Structure formats: structure tokens, C-alpha cells
Copies of this chain bind each other. A is one copy, B any other.
């Protein structure tokens, strides 16, 4: 099946919010890099589960509880298949990608890094892949190194081998949430391994939009969030290679993650329970499972094609119309960029741009996008960002372009 074979109008019809109205005007939702909307399939799966099948998991033995456990573990298997992970028990459910990255930094990093060890990050990381390492730098005295960027917002890999020399970790985003840049994940994982470093991939912006194969990447850890991939809030994923996970200490302590507890100490449960302390996001796992099924039904390569087309269309529409009045950050080549368009419009502050767009129900984010170090490089403390997803089409890009006109009227520029 190709992207042309998908009925994208029907896809849009599946998402109630993007078919909603505010003040009688349709909503143009262009903030999916922030969080995505949910299809009826996900909303109904969660509500139905709470109406007919809600029960504790992993703890009680009656049929209702056993079926709930199967539903929860079934979601794990769906996620495993979706990212082509070798084993289901390597897939750990967390609360969001941020917790996933903290888990890896704290548990793997805390146990394996010591004073002076180097961790390599990039200048385009989200705070979620910076702050946990800075916390570890403060507590363990590790050194942080940064891969710089090229002028068009790609990773500048000229000095990669020097940066990786003696490094213990390379942790990087598969796709920038500001620039849209898609990084060469497999090559970076290989470079990390060649240097003897562990490769951690922040795939928060990648998994929702592309075919993901953690084995083809050769990654050691991969993290992402459900809420950006048409799934519910309240659940994230941390995938890691079994051998690494087995050797790591636990992260949060409590029920479910133990094999035994005595007054003088505890022993850990097997994977994945070891990293899932307390009552997990049960309903949310069911919703994430439905989200993964929904996306699989479309075909992730079709999703990618659709978004490449839309990105190209939006880039052309905006630059044709506004020329030098608009600066769109990141690579022009849609082969290496996703459907995220951060831009500066004339001299109007992004917050004012977003205000004017909101007047036409065009929803974009204005701000630092949780990537302040990158913003400083761009020389801005904020940008406006329009991001597209499966329920968007060319008319949304047109609506954005039209609405931008309003900004000129007001600011008279």
C-alpha cells in the first residue's frame, strides 16, 4: 500500500478535535510536535476498557484481573512489534519520554559512569535529554560534550570521532522538535559503538512519524512518549537491550519491581517489572496499544510519505508567499526533515504571531520548545512552530499562510 492509497480525509475524520470548532470557526491544529490529537479508536478503547474490563494487573488472580493483565501485556507486545524490538520484556512502560530518559541516565548512567567520564549530546537536544545528564554531571562529575550544528541545522559530524574519543555515552535525538532535522541514527549508533560508547536515542519525534526499527538502528536504549503518537498522555516507553537492562540497578522502588522484601533489604523482580514500580498506567497502556494498531493500520511508511509531501508543500507555500519575510529554520530537504516548521515572521515576536494565528484558530506553539541551548544558537529566545501530522492536509498549510497575513495588518510592518 502506498500513501496515495490511504484515504487521508477519512483519517482526519477519525480525530474529533481537528473536526471541532471554536467560535464557529474550524480548528487548524498545527501543534502535534507538542502533543498529538487522539482518534476515536484510542478514546473508545480506553473508555470501553474502563467500562467493561478495568481491574488490577499483575497482582490478583481472578479472571477479570487476568484479562486486564493480558490487555496490559498485549500492549507491550504491540509496542515491541511496532519498533521491532527483540523481546517484549525489554519494553518498559514509564510515564513519559522524560521519565524514560531519566531512568536511563540515573540507573544505567549512575551505575556505569564515574568522575571524568564523557557523555556526548548534541546542540539540538530537548531539555529531557540534557537536564538528566546535567544532574548526573553534578552528582557524578561526568563531562558533557556537544555535537555542534551546521548552518542548515543538521548535526555537524566533522569532529565526531574526536568528540566520541573516550566517551561512554552518545545520547541524541532521532529528530529535532525545533528544526525538524532527522539525524543519521544508525550511523551515530555505529560510531558510538566503535568508540566503546552506549547509544541512547531520544525517538520522541521519530516513532510517531516513521518506520522505527531499533535493531536496524543498532541502538542500546530508545525512548519515546505515547501522547505524541495518537496515544494517551500518562505513558511513555523505554526500550533497552536485555543485557544492559538486566545489569542495571532499579530506578523507582516499591511494589511490582521486587522479588522479595525483607526488613534488611530487597531483591529485584525480572524484566520488565523491575523498572515498573507501583501500579502502572493500565488504561493508558490499553490506549497506547490501540494507538499503535491505528498507526500500523495506516502503515508508517505511508505516514512518512504523507508528511514529506505536506512538509514540502508547506515550505513552498510559505516561502513563495512571504519570501524574505519568513525565515524557516532547519534543512530544506524533506528527506532529512520531518513536518516541523519553526519560523521567524518579519520582526513580529512569535508570541504575537501565535496570537494572531489563534484569532483564526490556527494552533501553533510559540516559545523555546524546551530546547533553550538550541534557541540561543538560533539567536532567538522564541520561535513560532507549526507541526503537521496524519490528520493535517494542504488546506492546513494554506490556512497558516493566510492567517499570517493578519499579523502584518496589526503590526504595520
Interface on A for B, CB 8 Å cutoff?
Answer: 16-17, 20, 22, 27, 29, 31, 34-35, 37-38, 40, 42-44, 46-47, 50-56, 59-65, 94-99, 101-102, 126-128, 130-132, 134-135, 138, 144, 146, 225, 227, 232-236, 250, 252-258, 260-263, 265-266, 277-284, 351, 354-355, 357-358, 361-367, 370, 372-373, 376
Contact = CB atoms under 8 A, between A and B. Distances in A.
Given A63-B22, A279-B225, A373 B262 contact: yes
A364 to B, nearest CB: 7
Interface of A is mostly: mixed
A357 B61 CA distance: 10
A132 B252 contact: yes
Contact of A16 (B52, B65, B134, B365): B52
Give 6 closest A-B pairs by Cβ, nearest first.
A98-B278, A131-B253, A234-B234, A234-B281, A128-B254, A255-B370
A279 B98 contact: yes
B54 A38 contact: yes
A121 to B, nearest CB: 9
Contact of A261 (B97, B130, B225): B130
B131 A261 contact: yes
B284 A234 contact: yes
Given A17-B64, A127-B266, A131-B253, 17 more contacts: A17-B55, A37-B54, A42-B50, A56-B365, A62-B357, A63-B358, A64-B363, A95-B99, A97-B278, A98-B278, A127-B255, A128-B277, A128-B278, A131-B258, A131-B266, A132-B252, A236-B278
